[in-house]
Amino acid sequence: MTDARAGDLARNRALWAVVNARFTDAAAEEQWTRPDPVWGLFAVPERELGALGEVRGLEVVELACGTAYVSAWLARAGATVVAVDLSAEQLATARRLQGQLGPRFPLVQADGELVPLADGCADLVVSEHGVAAWCDPERWVAEAARLLRPGGRLVFLTNSHLSALCVPDDEGVAAERLVRGHREAYRVRWPGGGAEFHPSHGDWVRLLRRAGLVVEALHEVFAPADGGGDHPFYEIVSHEWASRWPAEELWVASRPA
């Protein structure tokens, strides 16, 4: 591992220990117990987007699972799940909720660029605001493709490239104008410590194809028009901004059978 990568991992671990203590540990129970899967900052129902399809009987790996509420939903829906994250603190919250609420499934502490699971072990690799922002896409997309068996699917949600072009350098809320160049969003260092990747659509298509995957869908995810407020702690976009422009992108790609 390069010194630069080791530095990124150390910063990410430190950042997510703080975010866990301030926000995500307290929020996780409500997310864990949601009856139906939703996507992203404004909880757009999966039944409206249909990105996951039927998951009963599938073997699933969730990358950068955080407090693992997506894995909990999928396990309750009949999938066999393994959840992977870099942060001991985020996984400790997941472990606490497994004990309190169930279901239980394996929690693995690892870097999403180097996952200690076998080739072809998954029918579905999923990540919600996880690896796509926090890991180098040249590495994690290949790693996800390695984990998929033929016919398997990769489904990931991340911030839209457009929102990354509009969030100011001080990590304030997205502006209604472009504040950085198209290529400058590929890797952004924020003052709060995080280093994030926000490839353009052209980059994503190239990266997915290079890993042998076929793009099935790109859902542009807006905040619901019928009300709802800003996210309680992720302040990157307002509800108003996200109801005019897609704040998030939900990509679906498959490994040919």
Ligand X SMILES: C[S@@+](CC[C@H](N)C(=O)[O-])C[C@H]1O[C@@H](n2cnc3c(N)ncnc32)[C@H](O)[C@@H]1O
Query: Which residues of the chain form contacts with ligand X (CB under 6 A)?
Result: 9, 12, 16, 24, 64-66, 70, 85-87, 90, 111-112, 128-130, 134-135
Say if residues 37 and 60 touch (Cβ distance below 8 Å): no
The Cα 57–Cα 62 span in angstroms is 15
Residue 103, preceding peptide bond in cis (omega within 30° of 0)? yes
Closest approach, Cβ 129 to ligand X, in A, equals 4
Q: Closest CB to ligand X among 66 and 137?
A: 66
Nearer to ligand X, 112 or 137 (CB): 112
Min CB(25)–ligand X separation in Å: 11
The residue number whose beta carbon is nearest to ligand X equals 66
In the structure encoding, which two tokens stand for residue 70, read together? Answer: 């997506």
Q: What is the largest CA-CA distance in the chain?
A: 47
Closer to ligand X by CB, 83 or 211: give it.
Answer: 83
Smallest distance from the beta carbon of 134 to ligand X, in angstroms?
3
Which of 215, 126, 203, 193 is closest to 161 using CA atoms?
203
The minimum distance between CB 150 and ligand X, in angstroms, equals 25
Q: How many residues does the structure list for the chain?
A: 257
**CA nearest to 147, candidates 87, 209, 213, 201:** 213
Nearer to ligand X, 140 or 241 (CB): 140
